[in-house]
Amino acid sequence: MINKQYASVAEAVADIPDGATVMVGGFGASGSPIELLHALIDHGATDLTVINNNTGNGEVGLAALIGNGQVSKMICSFPRSSQSKVFPELYRAGKVALEIVPQGTLAERIRAAGAGVPAFYTPTTVGTVLAEGKEVREFNGRPYVMESWLKADFALIKCEVADSLGNLTYNKTARNFSPLMCMAATTTIAQTKTLVDRGGIDPEQVVTPGIFVNRVVEVTQPIHEDVLIAEGRSYP
C-alpha cells in the first residue's frame, strides 16, 4: 500500500544534493515551510538554486538558508522587502546571483513546467532589461517576449491537511505558488499540520492531487515566520 509519510523533516530532505534546484512555497511569510527550510540548513546542501516569490525575511527560514551560504542563485520576483536584510547584503557583495522574474511570469513559468510546455510568450517585459537576450515575436501587431519553463529537482511545500497518499489541502491564501510548484518539481516534499489516513480528505476538497507529491511529513505545530521575526529569533 502506498504511504508517502516520512518520520521527520530531517529524513524528508536528507537526499537533497549540492547543486540542486529547489522551489520553496510561500508568499512572504504566508505558506513558508519553515521547518523544512531549517531541516535543509541542518542537512547542509550547498550551491543551491532557489525559486521563490521573494528572498526571505529576518534571519529565519529562507533568509537563514541564504545567510548560511547554501544558496548560490535566487530566482524570484521580490528580492527585497521591509524585513529582508540577509539577501541584499550578500547580493551587493557578489556572493549570490539573482534572476528577477515578474510575479505573473514567475507563476506561469512554473505552471508551464508542470504542464510540459517548454516556453510561452508574454508582453510583460517588452522594452525592459529583463527582455535582453530573449526572443521577441509579434502577434496581432504587439511584441511578445519568449519565456522558458522553470523546473526544479525538489519543491518544499507547506500545507494544512495531507493524507498518506500525498493529497493536499491548504489554508486559504497560504496555498499561493505551492500547487504549481508541486507539479513542476521532480520530487515534492510537503510538511502538513494534520496528516490523515487515505480517504480522510473529501475528494472535492483536494487542491493538489497526490500524484504530484512524493513525501509528506507531519508538523503539528508549525512555526510562523512573522512570529520568529517579531521575537528577534535567528537560525541556526
Q: What is the structure's pLDDT at 122?
A: 98
In terms of DSSP bridges, do strands 136-139 and 142-148 run parallel, antiparallel, or are they unpaired? antiparallel
Q: In angstroms, rounded to a whole number, what is the distance separating the alpha carbons of residues 154 and 215?
A: 11
Decide yes or no: CATH 3.40.1080.10 for domain 5-117+150-230: yes
Is residue 82 predicted with pLDDT exceeding 80?
no
Cα dihedral across residues 155, 180, 54, 83: positive or negative: negative
Q: In angstroms, rounded to a whole number, what is the distance separating the alpha carbons of residues 26 and 155?
A: 11
Q: In angstroms, rounded to a whole number, what is the distance separating the alpha carbons of residues 142 and 189?
A: 41
With cell 521563490, the residue in question is: 52
Model confidence, pTM: 0.96
Give the residue-averaged pLDDT of 70-95: 94
Q: What is the structure's pLDDT at 84?
A: 87
81: pLDDT confidence band, cut at 50, 70 and 90? confident
The residues, ordered by sequence, that sit 6+ positions from 38 with a Cβ below 8 Å of its Cβ are: 9, 60, 61, 64, 235, 236
